């Protein structure tokens, strides 16, 4: 039988555990059957527990079947942070609570009069004057004026909007001071230029703008067309153009091949067969192999005796004796003397060879000068034609225009447009450095799943058609 | 005391440049606004000399701007306007979110516009500066005038482009400023000269609008460029019209008024309207004189006294003068199959009058039955009804005539004829040291007469002479032999008389020599001597070339020599080839003759 002793003195739980003392057997505290007997004896000086055993202890008949309380959660969602803040908005802030009336004394004047603003209610006088104004026609006039003002405002607004479409002044006619940033109020004959410049507001300070980049200024906006792009070109010019296209294309192909060689081509591909073999080898590592006499170790290779031989035998630092040292020194000295002698001899021969040396030096100088000229000219040419690097993206290179000989009819009516003029302009701006090259980011469209809404008149054929069409659209 | 340590990149190239991100922060603008203001104000990203230093040690390639440029932008009043706009856009967004559509509509109606005309003046302080930069502006405006309303392009932009381009064309017509035309597969290249500035632009062929793929071109940026160019072109037009004594804005056809814009949905109708608008004559300012002719070129004593150059300039001016009135008084009728726009523009530029089929398009001025029409432009192999009083030519004749600066002979351009190639007038004239076969020379210069022309009459003469030669070589004819003998005898007789005369003269001379006084002889310059002296002087001058330029001069001379040699070689080859061909022809003819003779003898 399992007896659990329940504590009927919950207040005791709060007692200091140091003060707990187990009851001694024989003090009438309870039978030893009890698994847990944690009824502490009251400490000296505390409340004396009085009462029979039954009163103190209850037989636990339920055992472990502790009643499971059902958590009845209220069907309210917890407020989000935002909602909590919203809810708090309605409350009076803590800082203002002081200002609220806390007095218990009620307002002695229970019904206060509401004070109206002057003019909000027609007084006798105002009624009279209004009547007089109506009779005189003043009100009528006011109404008309109001209408007129409204019309004027609309016109003004319209005029301000159509400012782009009206070009009604010669902006180059006179030296316009307003364009220099001098305010309108100061543009007058009687105000000296010093005063005008002095009074230029800080927001419109005259600031010099650095000159625009060279590439923008020097490169032509509309490049001279190749004569071969004529709608009716001469044979020679058209061939030249085609030659140009071919050369460009070959260059690109060569470059592509190079790129392939240095990137993808560097790495060998693993064929499926190789992969399979590799896998087999790896998986069978360590397994007992069938005996293969070819792989048997050669009996002749191995030394017959069992003497141990280190792979990397230790080196002994053997000291050199005096004789070897001396001989080494002598050798070194002799070598030095020989070297000196050789140099001296070279000097003498050089004196005889002076003219030859001079000639070679001047030749070298000439060659250097020539190569320097070449390099500078190359650099200058590169600077004149190089594409500006204004961005991590690369500026598109100008490609020669390809005119398909099949489309050349020599007829003005049958010209079929080739190339995109807008793209040409865009890239020309980039090539001149007016725009940084960029890659246009496209926003992806959401893919919508399509359904066929079934109806009573819809046949299977219709559904099939729909599916086919949508599939064709997707691809 | 240690001096304060200088921070890295606080001076020099590191301080000179600023990254785009930093610029955005400094100006407190969004990227969109920054891009817009940069385009409007003409501020471009820079390429530094040393990127590492300019980026303050950071790697990669960043878009850099000049710090001074950004400071300059900082004082631009448009920036304040942009910030205001931002607030305004927020208002609109709010109204939309709260579904107060009436308010939203009101906001849209009162949307503030940014006025940028002060920017035009600031970027182009003089009119000539603006003209110099008109190439890009015109090409883009002509291109945008073909666009329908697109998502990223404001609705009124393309309409305004249409109006302004037509106005500009009118100004070119009135100023007679067009110089060159080139029809390429891409479009029409036009070149005109206004106030001494050469302006080149491209007009696309008129197709139906082709959808542009979005990932190639940033429409927003291009539209911003056009926004500025519209402003610029408007003011340029104003100035041009006033300098030509024309009323601005001109009263064009109804299609260009703002009220009827919405009615012309049909693209074709619009194109027809545009061409009709170009055919109008504009109102002159009251009291202005007729167009004053430019005076003759005065010759000033400049340091450049090369008479050849002066002569060339004079010739050029003469040619241009002729070109300006090339079609004056001529009436052109354009058949309906011919694309009219460029032709109307060109013909009107040089003073011609144009009309077209009244039933098909608006704006025709005279009918096809008009007897005073000089040229009818057709692009079909044949026509049923033809008038005798006019020439029927293909459109290329007009373009080639403009480029040749004179009315070309029409025989190569007649209806149904195979056209000669349309050559580009934009070839570099300075590169004249190239070999040109006689055929090409004839194409470029209509007055060029090749030495051995293919004219039939010439050939006949040649044949005749050949026959003569043959006769000489074959002394079979008895009469011929007789006459020759006679001539020889005569020749033999004559020298004896001459000898006698000579002797007499000699005697007279000797007598004269004996006398003391001689009559004065005017000093005759030996042209050969002069040439030699000139050459020597030139060599001396060559010696005076500075050391700095000597190498360049030398290489230039060597190049010239090389090119000359090449031309000479090619000419020689051509000559030899031609001679060989001629010989072959002759031999063939001879064999034919022989065969014919033999055949005749056999028959006999």
Cβ of B239 within 8 Å of Cβ of A235? The answer is no
pLDDT band of residue B458 (cuts 50, 70, 90) is very low
| Among the partner residues B44, B121, B426, nearest to A176 by beta-carbon distance | B121
Domain assignment present for B578: yes
Pairs of CB atoms within 8 A across A/B: 223
Greatest Cα-to-Cα distance within chain B, rounded to the nearest angstrom:
132
B257 confidence band (pLDDT: 50, 70, 90): low
Structural domain includes residue B461: yes
Residue of chain A nearest B227, judged by CA positions: A164
Residue contact B186–A178, C-beta within 8 A: no
Q: Kindly state whether residues B245 and B355 are assigned to the same domain.
A: no
Neighboring chain B residues of A389 at a CB cutoff of 8 Å: 47, 61
- Put simply, the answer to whether B183 touches A419 (Cβ < 8 Å) is no
Strands B331-334 and B197-204, sheet pairing: unpaired
Residue A181 has what pLDDT?
61
Report pLDDT digits (tens) over B208-221: 666 677 778 888 99
pLDDT by residue (tens digit) across A113-139? Answer: 888 887 788 888 889 999 999 999 999
Mean pLDDT value of segment B312-321? 86
For the stretch B398-449, pLDDT in tens is: 999 999 888 888 888 998 888 888 988 888 766 667 777 777 777 666 666 6
Residue A147 has phi, psi (to 5 degrees) of -60, -45
Tell me the nearest-neighbour CA distance from A165 into chain B, angstroms.
Answer: 7
Which pLDDT value is given to residue B411? 87
CB-closest option in B42, B66, B212 to A422: B212
Within a domain: A84: no
Q: What is the pLDDT of residue B93?
A: 95
How many other C-beta atoms lie within 10 A of the C-beta of residue A197?
A: 14
HEC-encoded secondary structure of B183-213: EECCEEEEEEEECCEEEEEEEECCCCCCCCC
A57 within domain boundaries: yes
**Do A397 and A387 meet the contact criterion of CB atoms below 8 Å apart?**
yes
Evaluate if residue A34 carries a pLDDT over 50: no
pLDDT bracket for residue B470 (50, 70, 90): very low
B420 and B450 belong to one structural domain: no
pLDDT at A236: 86
Closest approach of B236 to chain A, Cα-based (Å): 9
DSSP letter (8 states) at residue B283: P
* B242·A170 Cβ contact <8 A: yes
Task: Find how far residue A304's CA is from the centre of its chain.
Answer: 71
Same domain, B452 and B598: yes
Q: Is residue A171 part of a domain?
A: no
Place of tokens 């009851």: A23
With respect to residue A41, please indicate whether it lies within any of the assigned structural domains: yes
Q: Which residue does chain B place closest to A405, by CA atoms?
A: B185
Q: Is residue B495 part of a domain?
A: no
Number of domains in chain A: 1
- Provide the pLDDT confidence category of residue A4 given band limits of 50, 70 and 90: very low
Q: Is B257 on the interface with A (CB under 8 A)?
A: no
Q: Terminus-to-terminus CA distance in chain B, angstroms?
A: 132
Closest residue to B143, CB basis, from A412, A415, A422: A422
Which residues lie below 8 Å from residue A426, measured CB to CB, with a gap of 6+?
A435, B216, B217, B218, B221, B222
Last residue of a domain, one of B109, B129, B145: B109
Nearest CA to B584 among B594, B576, B574?
A: B576
**CA A360, CA A325: separation in Å to the nearest integer?**
46
B441 within a domain of the structure (yes/no): yes
Structure tokens at A75: 């069907």
Q: Which of A157, A165, A171 sits opposite B117 (nearest CB)?
A: A171
The closest CB to that of B47, out of A229, A390, A392, belongs to A390
Find how far residue B156's CA is from the centre of its chain.
32
Number of H helices, E strands in chain B: 21, 9
Residue A414 confidence (pLDDT) above 50: yes
pLDDT band for position A366 (cuts 50, 70, 90): very high
Would you say residue A278 has pLDDT above 90? yes
Domain edge (last residue) among B400, B427, B454: B427
Of the pLDDT bands very low, low, confident and very high (cuts 50, 70, 90), residue A35 is very low
* CATH code of the domain covering residue B362: 3.40.50.10190
Tokens 């009804």, located at residue: B385
pTM of the full structure: 0.67
Least trusted range by pLDDT, from A331-335, A455-459, B81-85? A455-459
Contact between chains at B184 and A231 (C-beta distance less than 8 A)? yes
Q: Residue B409 half-sphere exposure, CB side, CA atoms within 13 Å?
A: 8
On whether the CB atoms of residues A69 and A37 are closer than 8 A, the answer is no
> If you average pLDDT over every residue of chain A, what do you get?
80
Q: Is residue B203 part of a domain?
A: yes
- Is A415 close to B238, i.e. CB distance below 8 A? no
Residue B297: inside a domain: no
Number of domains present in the structure of chain B: 4
pLDDT of residue B74: 86
Q: What is the pLDDT of residues B518-555, one digit of tens each?
A: 788 888 888 899 999 999 999 999 999 998 899 899 99
Residue B559 contacts A, CB cutoff 8 Å: no
Residue A404 scores a pLDDT above 50: yes
Cβ pair B184, A225 in contact under 8 A: yes
Mean per-residue pLDDT, B508-523? 75
pLDDT, mean of residues A224-236: 90
- What does the pLDDT look like over B46-76, one tens digit per residue? 999 999 999 999 989 999 999 999 988 887 8
| Sheet strand arrangement including B353-356 | B353-356, B331-334, B375-377, B391-393
Pick from A44-53, A248-257, A412-421, B418-427 the range whose average pLDDT is largest.
A248-257
Mean pLDDT of A92-98: 89
- Rounded alpha-carbon distances, angstroms, from residue A235 to A391, A410, A417, B423, B440: 41, 12, 21, 11, 11
Query: What is Dmax (Cα atoms) for chain A?
Result: 146
Interface residue B248 vs chain A (CB under 8 A): yes
- The two tokens of residue B304 are 């450049």
Mean pLDDT of B379-400: 89
Task: Report the pLDDT value the prediction gives residue B583, as an integer from 0 to 100.
Answer: 95
Beta strands in B145-196 (DSSP E): 178-183, 187-194
More confidently predicted of A21 and A82 = A82
Residue B237 has pLDDT above 90, yes or no: yes
Distances (CA, A) of B295 to A96, A382, B318, B321, B323: 89, 45, 11, 11, 16
Distance from CA of A316 to the nearest CA of B (A): 54
What is the spatial distance between Cα B553 and Cα B531, in angstroms, rounded to a whole number?
A: 22
Measured over the CA atoms of residue B3, residue B6, residue B12 and residue B17, the dihedral's sign is negative
Whether omega before B249 lies within 30 degrees of 0, making that bond cis, reads yes
Per-residue pLDDT, A367: 97
The C-alpha atoms of residue B141 and residue B163 are separated, in whole angstroms, by 10
Q: Contact at 8 Å (CB) between B53 and B9?
A: yes
Cross-chain Cβ contact B218/A168 below 8 Å: no
Average pLDDT (B364-393) is 88
**What values do phi and psi take at B202, rounded to 5?**
-115, 135
Q: Of B427, B459, B481, at which residue does a domain stop?
A: B427
**Percentage above 70 pLDDT, chain A:** 78
Contact B189 A417 (CB under 8 A): no
| Neighbour count for residue A162 (Cβ, 10 Å) | 12
Is the Cβ of B69 closer than 8 Å to some Cβ of chain A? yes
Q: Is residue A21 part of a domain?
A: yes
Q: Give the confidence band of A33 by pLDDT, cuts at 50, 70, 90.
A: very low
In this structure, is residue A47 part of a structural domain?
A: yes
Per-residue buried b or exposed e for B466-503, using 16+ beta carbons within 10 Å of the residue's own CB: eeeeeeeeeeeeeeeeeeeeeeeeeeeeeeeeeeeeee
- Taking Cα atoms as reference points, which of A216, A101, A434, A400 lies closest to residue B38? A434
Q: Which of A178-187, A358-367, B367-376 has the lowest mean pLDDT?
A: A178-187
Residue B501 pLDDT greater than 70, yes or no: no
Is A32 within the bounds of a domain? yes
- Cβ distance A167 to B443 less than 8 Å, yes or no, reads no
Contact (CB<8Å) A440/B215: yes
Inter-chain touch B239–A435, beta carbons under 8 Å: no
Task: Give residue B514's Cα distance to chain centre.
Answer: 72
Enclosing domain of residue B579: 432-470+544-604
Specify whether B423 is located in the same domain as B344: yes
For residues B457-469, give the mean pLDDT. 42
Residue window 268-297, chain B: list those with CB within 8 Å of chain A. none
Q: Check: CB of residue B395 under 8 Å from CB of residue B386.
A: no
CB contact under 8 A, A389 and B118: no
Closest CA to B374 of B388, B364, B359, B395: B388
Q: What is the ipTM of this complex?
A: 0.76
pLDDT confidence tier of residue B26, bands split at 50, 70 and 90: very high
Q: Contact A440/B200, CB-based, under 8 Å?
A: no
At B130-143, the pLDDT tens digits run: 999 999 999 999 99
Quote the tokens at residue B570.
């090619």
Give the domain extent around A61: 1-65
Same domain, B451 and B413: no
**Mean pLDDT to the nearest integer, A342-363:** 94
Statement: residue A105 has pLDDT above 60: yes
Residue partners of B332: CB distance under 8 A and separation at least 6: B343, B347, B352, B353, B354, B355, B373, B374, B375, B376, B377
Cα–Cα nearest to B314, from B324, B294, B336, B299: B299
Note whether B217 contacts A423, CB cutoff 8 Å: yes
Do B185 and B227 fall within a single domain?
Answer: yes
The mean pLDDT of A30-34, rounded to a whole number, is 44
CB contacts of B117 in chain A (<8 Å) are 171
Q: Quick one: which of B39, B28, B23 has its CA closest to B84?
A: B28
Residue A19: pLDDT over 70: no
Q: Both tokens of residue B354?
A: 């144009």
> Are B139 and B246 part of one and the same domain?
yes
pLDDT at B453: 43
Nearest CA among B96, B78, B18, B66 for reference residue B224: B78
**Does residue A214 sit within a domain?**
no
Q: Quick check: A365 pLDDT over 90?
A: yes
Closest CB to B238 among A167, A181, A391: A167
Residue A8 predicted with pLDDT over 80: no
Please check whether residue B52 touches A, CB under 8 A: no
Give yes or no for a contact between B210 and B378, defined as CB atoms under 8 angstroms apart: no
- Tell me the pLDDT band of B505, cut-offs 50, 70 and 90: confident
Q: Are residues B30 and B87 in the same domain?
A: yes
Q: Which range scores top for mean pLDDT: A278-292, A301-315, A366-380? A: A366-380
CA distance A191 to chain B (A): 22
Say if residue B390 is in the same domain as residue B414. yes
Pick from A199-203, B419-423, B449-453: least confident: B449-453
Contacting residues of A for B396, CB less than 8 Å apart: 232, 412
Q: Is residue B503 part of a domain?
A: no
Do B153 and B184 belong to one domain?
yes
B35 touches chain A (CB under 8 A): no
Same domain, B422 and B438: no
Interchain contact, A413 vs B140, CB within 8 Å:
no
């Amino acid at each position: 039988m399992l007896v659990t002793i329940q504590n009927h003195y919950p207040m005791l739980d709060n007692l200091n555990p140091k003060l707990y003392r187990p009851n001694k057997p024989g003090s009438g505290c309870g039978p030893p059957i009890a698994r847990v007997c944690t009824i502490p004896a009251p400490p000296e000086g505390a409340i004396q527990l009085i009462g029979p055993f039954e009163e103190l202890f209850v037989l636990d008949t339920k055992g472990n079947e502790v009643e499971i309380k059902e958590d009845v959660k209220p069907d309210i969602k917890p407020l989000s942070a935002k909602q909590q803040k919203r809810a708090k908005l309605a409350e009076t802030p803590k800082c203002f609570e002081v200002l609220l009336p806390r007095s218990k004394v009620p307002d002695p004047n229970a019904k206060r009069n509401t004070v109206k603003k002057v003019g909000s209610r027609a007084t006798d006088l105002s009624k009279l004057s209004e009547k007089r104004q109506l009779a005189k026609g003043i009100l009528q006039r006011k109404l008309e004026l109001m209408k007129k003002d409204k019309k004027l405002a609309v016109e003004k607004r319209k005029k301000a909007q159509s400012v782009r479409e009206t070009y009604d002044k010669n902006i180059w006619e006179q030296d316009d001071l307003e364009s220099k940033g001098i305010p309108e109020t100061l543009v007058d004959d009687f105000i000296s230029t010093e005063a005008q410049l002095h009074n230029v507001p800080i927001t419109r300070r005259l600031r010099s703008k650095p000159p625009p980049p060279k590439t923008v200024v020097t490169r032509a906006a509309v490049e001279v067309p190749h004569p071969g792009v004529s709608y009716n070109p001469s044979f020679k010019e058209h061939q030249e153009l085609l030659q140009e296209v071919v050369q460009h294309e070959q260059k690109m192909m060569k470059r592509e091949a190079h790129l392939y060689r240095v990137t993808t081509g560097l790495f060998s591909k693993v064929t499926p067969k190789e992969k399979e073999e590799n896998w087999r080898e790896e998986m069978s590592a360590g397994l007992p192999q069938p005996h293969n006499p070819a792989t048997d170790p050669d009996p002749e290779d191995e030394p017959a005796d069992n003497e141990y031989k280190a792979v990397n035998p230790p080196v002994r630092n053997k000291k050199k004796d005096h004789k070897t040292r001396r001989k080494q020194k002598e050798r070194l000295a002799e070598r030095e003397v020989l070297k000196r002698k050789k140099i001296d001899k070279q000097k003498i021969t050089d004196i005889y060879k002076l003219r030859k040396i001079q000639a070679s030096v001047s030749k070298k100088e000439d060659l250097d000068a020539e190569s320097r000229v070449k390099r500078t000219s190359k650099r200058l040419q590169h600077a004149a034609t190089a594409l500006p690097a204004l961005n991590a993206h690369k500026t598109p290179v100008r490609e020669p225009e390809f005119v398909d000989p099949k489309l050349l009819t020599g007829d003005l009516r049958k010209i079929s447009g080739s190339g995109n003029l807008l793209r040409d302009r865009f890239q020309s701006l980039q090539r001149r450095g007016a725009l940084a090259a960029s890659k246009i980011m496209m926003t992806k469209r959401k893919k919508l799943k399509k359904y066929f809404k079934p109806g009573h008149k819809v046949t299977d054929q219709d559904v099939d058609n729909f599916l086919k069409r949508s599939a064709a659209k997707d691809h | 005391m240690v001096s304060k340590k200088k921070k890295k990149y606080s001076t020099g190239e590191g301080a000179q440049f600023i990254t785009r991100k930093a610029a955005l922060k400094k100006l407190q603008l969004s990227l969109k606004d920054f891009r817009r203001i940069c385009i409007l104000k003409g501020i471009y990203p820079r390429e530094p000399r040393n990127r590492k230093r300019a980026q303050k040690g950071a790697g990669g390639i960043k878009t850099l701007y000049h710090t001074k440029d950004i400071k300059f932008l900082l004082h631009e009043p448009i920036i304040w306007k942009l910030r205001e706009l931002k607030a305004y856009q927020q208002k609109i967004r709010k109204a939309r979110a709260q579904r107060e559509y009436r308010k939203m509509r009101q906001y849209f109606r009162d949307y503030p516009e940014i006025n940028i005309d002060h920017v035009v003046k600031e970027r182009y302080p003089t009119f000539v500066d603006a003209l110099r930069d008109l190439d890009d502006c015109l090409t883009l405006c002509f291109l945008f005038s073909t666009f329908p309303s697109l998502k990223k392009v404001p609705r009124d932009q393309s309409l305004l482009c249409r109006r302004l381009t037509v106005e500009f064309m009118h100004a070119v017509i009135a100023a007679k400023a067009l110089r060159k035309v080139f029809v390429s597969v891409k479009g029409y290249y036009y070149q005109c000269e206004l106030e001494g500035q050469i302006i080149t632009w491209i007009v696309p062929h008129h197709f139906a609008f082709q959808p542009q793929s979005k990932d190639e071109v940033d429409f927003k940026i291009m539209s911003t460029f056009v926004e500025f160019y519209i402003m610029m072109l408007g003011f340029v037009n104003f100035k041009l019209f006033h300098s030509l004594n024309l009323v601005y804005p001109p009263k064009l056809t109804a299609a260009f008024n703002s009220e009827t814009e919405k009615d012309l949905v049909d693209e074709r109708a619009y194109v027809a309207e545009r061409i009709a608008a170009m055919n109008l004559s504009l109102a002159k300012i009251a009291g202005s004189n007729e167009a004053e002719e430019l005076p003759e070129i005065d010759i000033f004593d400049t340091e450049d006294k090369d008479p050849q150059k002066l002569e060339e300039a004079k010739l050029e001016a003469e040619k241009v003068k002729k070109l300006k009135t090339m079609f004056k008084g001529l009436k052109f009728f354009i058949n309906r199959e011919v694309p009219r726009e460029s032709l109307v523009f060109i013909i009107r530029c040089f003073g011609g009058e144009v009309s077209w089929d009244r039933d098909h398009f608006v704006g025709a001025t005279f009918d096809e039955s008009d007897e005073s029409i000089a040229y009818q432009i057709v692009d079909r192999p044949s026509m049923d009804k033809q008038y005798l009083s006019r020439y029927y030519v293909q459109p290329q004749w007009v373009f080639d005539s403009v480029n040749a600066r004179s009315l070309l002979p029409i025989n190569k351009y007649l209806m149904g004829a195979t056209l000669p190639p349309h050559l580009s007038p934009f070839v570099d004239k300075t590169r004249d040291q190239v070999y040109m076969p006689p055929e090409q020379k004839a194409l470029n210069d209509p007055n060029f007469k090749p030495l051995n022309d293919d004219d039939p009459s010439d050939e006949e003469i040649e044949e005749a002479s050949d026959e003569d030669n043959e006769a000489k070589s074959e002394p079979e004819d008895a009469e011929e032999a007789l006459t020759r003998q006679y001539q020889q005898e005569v020749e033999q007789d004559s020298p004896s008389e001459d000898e006698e005369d000579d002797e007499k003269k000699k005697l007279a001379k000797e007598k004269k020599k004996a006398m003391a006084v001689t009559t004065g002889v005017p000093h005759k310059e030996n042209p050969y001597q002069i040439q030699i002296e000139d050459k020597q002087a030139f060599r001396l001058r060559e010696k005076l070339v500075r050391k700095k330029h000597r190498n360049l001069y030398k290489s230039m001379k060597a190049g010239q020599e090389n090119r000359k040699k090449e031309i000479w070689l090619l000419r020689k080859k051509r000559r030899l080839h031609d001679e060989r061909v001629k010989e072959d022809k002759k031999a063939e003819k001879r064999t034919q003759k022989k065969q014919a003779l033999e055949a005749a003898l056999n028959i006999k």
